[in-house]
Amino acid sequence: MKPTSSRAARRLSKKAAAGGPPTLAALDARITRAKIKGLTTPLEDRAKRILRSYLQTAQTYGMPVTDVIAEMGNGEASRRLGAAVRDEILKTPPDAVRKAACSDGCAFCCILSGGEGGLITQAEAKTLHTALSPLQGQPDGRAWHKNACPALDPETQSCRVYDARPMICRSFLSTDAEACRQNAEGGTEQGAGLLGSHLDYLAVHALCRQVLKGITQVHSYSLAAVAAGAVAGDDAETSLANARHKPSALDTACRDGANAASA
């Protein structure tokens, strides 16, 4: 696992000298002590149960602790766990899923009026960059709408890297396409939202950041900035560096997600 900063490198070096990375049991103990900003105790406890299930699975399959730390750090663990919760929800679809108005080419949710496009993890950012890089220089979604996601095809308004889309894209749905159109132009219509599994994904990622303090850094990134960098021809390192959030962005996303879930 490659440290994400010189400070993290020094800390890992010290831990290696003291006998290597922490054990899975030590990570579990860190989960007990961790606190997630922006979440109520029930939501925090749920995130802890979900992350513990990941550690238990890792132990069952003999996964090296260095790999566990790497997946927790780059967001692959939170993505995988969020997807698992999403799959469970879809086994008995709620009304919002059964009545979803979403269809191919209906891309109003891909007009990124806030400029961010949503929070994504390092693993998702790298996957998105890899998928979009071969399309650099081609007309993108911004040729259709100035604030559209660069991953869109400007003619069909379909995602050109659908299989590489991050959790924020997989979690969004709406029961009213017209409401989405109005909201894309600055409205506040009802009908659109995120599956509850997205809050679990955010909470687990925030929890991983707390658990891995002093071991490695856990970042989040702007979807829009990663996509824009990829189609502009920036390499992955440059694109991710330009798209990296301040730490407070993850706290804000958790708080906003929790408020939306309780509304």
Residue 85 lies in a domain: yes
pTM of the model: 0.89
Domain residues for the domain of 220 are: 6-262
Angstrom distance (rounded) from CA 3 to CA 10: 9
pLDDT band at 10 (very low <50, low <70, confident <90, very high): low
Quote the pLDDT of residue 17: 43
DSSP result, 21-35: SPPHHHHHHHHHH--
Angstrom distance (rounded) from CA 206 to CA 106: 31
More confident residue, 7 or 84: 84
Report whether pLDDT(30) > 80.
Answer: yes
Q: What is the mean pLDDT of residues 205-218?
A: 96
Calculate what percentage of the chain has a pLDDT beyond 70.
92
Angstrom distance (rounded) from CA 144 to CA 10: 47
Which residues, 6+ apart, have CB-to-CB distance to 7 below 8 Å? Answer: none
Q: What is the mean pLDDT of residues 153-174?
A: 94
Of the CA atoms within 13 Å of residue 165, those in its CB half-sphere come to: 19
Residue 119 lies in a domain: yes
C-alpha distances (whole Å) from 177 to each of 52, 69, 183 are 38, 41, 10
What does the pLDDT look like over 108-129, one tens digit per residue? 889 987 767 789 999 999 999 9
What does the pLDDT look like over 57-102, one tens digit per residue? 999 999 999 999 999 999 999 999 999 999 999 999 988 888 888 8
Report whether pLDDT(50) > 60.
Answer: yes
Phi, psi of 26 (to 5 degrees): -70, -40
More confident residue, 178 or 32: 32
Identify the CA nearest to 125 among candidates 207, 212, 218.
Answer: 218
More confident residue, 106 or 68: 68
Residue 1 lies in a domain: no
Tokens, residue 204: 């687990």
Could you give the number of structural domains in the chain? 1
Report whether pLDDT(24) > 60.
Answer: yes
Report whether pLDDT(13) > 90.
Answer: no
Angstrom distance (rounded) from CA 46 to CA 43: 5
Q: What is the mean pLDDT of residues 142-167?
A: 95
Q: For the packed helices 223-232 and 122-132, what is the interaxial angle rounded to 10 degrees?
A: 30
Residue 110 lies in a domain: yes
Residue 131 lies in a domain: yes
